[in-house]
Homo-oligomer: A and B are copies of this chain.
Amino acid sequence: MSLTRAGCLALDANDPLAQHRSAFALPDGIVYLDGNSLGALPVTTAARVREVIEDEWGRGLIGSWNDAGWIDASRRAGSKIARLIGAADDEVICADSTSVNLFKVLAAALRLEQRRPPVTEHVRDVILSERGSFPTDLYVAQAIAEISGGRCRLVTVSADDIAYHIDDGTAVLLLTHVDYRSGRMHDMRELTRRAHFAGALTVWDLAHSAGALPVDLAEAGADFAVGCGYKYLNGGPGAPAFVFVARRHLHAMADDRFAQPLAGWFGHRAPFEFSPEYEPAAGIDRFGVGTPSIIALAALECGVDTVLAAGIDALRSKSVQLTQLFIDLVDNRCANLGLGLASPREAARRGSQVCYAHDHASPVMQALIGRGVVGDYRPGQAGEPGILRFGFAPLYLRFADVWDAVEALRDILATRAWDRPKFIERRAVT
């Protein structure tokens, strides 16, 4: 790979995904390396949302629940996401937020686990997770452990130690597939295999995977998963999240009314019968709860369509090229400028982001944003330096953008342009 801007422009000229950039409304003069936090706006979204608002809601009014197919919107978006994560279309539904969906599936997994015949006499009460997981995953697990009244507890270990802590005390393995901070990717297949061998179930958080790289939940034998609509799926700020439950578990919980404890009318077998007793829908619909936002679901569907149009394998291929280019350029052009690679060097173990630790990560990122290179800052763990986080959304990023980002970074570090009063130093959270 030739490390010049001209070389990057040549890569763009030959990029089979280059045309997809025009599917997004991106502001001029910005290199947007934060699509892993909030995906860019598809050009179709505004018109589609306007149609939902003016035609379906404004003119169709209540009749649009049937006439415009609102009643199926959660499943329709879910079935599109299913194609990106190796799931069947009756295994995924879009509803609520990632946090709320985590509560549903973690509770459901623990309950299924409690109903299974014990493998050993050991008490199986551990939710095993990673110390540095995205906080909401840990918070939900802490809450579930607390309200269980001692029936389960959360144990967190470092990423490297996960595999060695899966044992006959593990009820549920709760992991983020791609770490939000480092971009490190777990081996979903291998860890699921180990979990199953030990008699545990798995909950995968796909927030930083879905839409960025191929996920094959079926091949991995995954049990439960959740994911986010507003990152690589480009669904808009706070887009509805999704939830996956393997069909075998949907069957296994069929006779357990509150297997999913957030029992709301949109999870009922027949919401419009207004029956006083909760009877869950037979399949994935029971993971719905209240009335979903139809406007938000319409925007999400536009976002998912941008990913489907490009194809997830092609996206992964370009993503690996982009992240590798970024690492190579930083190696070459930012040596001895205080950056420590915080992401795996090996592409196969890395999601679609690259992170660097730096002693002044927060002001450095502010200076970068000031020059139109938009990544984000994440505090370091337990006194460690903060992190410069760069996400690479292959749908709309160009190779030349990567060059320009690294040049801006190099210049800011070499000239200490971050060391200005207007850039605020933030401390690591301990």
Q: Does A224 contact B (CB under 8 A)?
A: no
| Residue contact A142 to B277, C-beta cutoff 8 Å | yes
Among A257, A278, A297, A378, find the residue whose CB has the most chain B CB atoms closer than 10 A. Answer: A278
Copies in the complex: 2
Q: A143-163 interface mask toward B, CB cutoff 8 Å, 1 = contact, 0 = none?
A: 110110100000010000000
- Which of A131-139, A322-330, A341-349, A353-361 lines the interface with chain B? A131-139
Q: What's the nearest-Cβ distance from chain B to residue A366, in Å?
A: 11
Known: A100-B262, A257-B146. A291 touches B57 (CB 8 A): no
Q: A47-85 interface mask toward B, CB cutoff 8 Å, 1 = contact, 0 = none?
A: 001100110111101111100001000000000000000
| Complex-state Cα separation, A155 to B218, whole angstroms | 43
Pick the residue among B236, B257, B271, B294 that contacts A57 (CB under 8 A): B236
Pick the residue among B34, B37, B262 that contacts A99 (CB under 8 A): B262
Q: What's the nearest-Cβ distance from chain B to residue A235, in Å?
A: 9
Q: Which residue of B lies closest to A280 (CB)?
A: B139
Q: Does A191 contact B (CB under 8 A)?
A: no
Residues of B within 8 A of A273 (CB): 379, 429
- Which of A25-33, A195-203, A304-312, A410-418 lines the interface with chain B? A25-33
Interface positions of A (Cβ within 8 A of B): 25-27, 30, 32, 34, 37-38, 40-41, 45-46, 49-50, 53-54, 56-59, 61-65, 70, 96-100, 102-103, 107, 131-136, 138-140, 142-144, 146-147, 149, 156, 181, 230, 236-241, 257-258, 261-268, 271, 273-278, 289-297, 299, 369, 374, 376, 378-379, 429
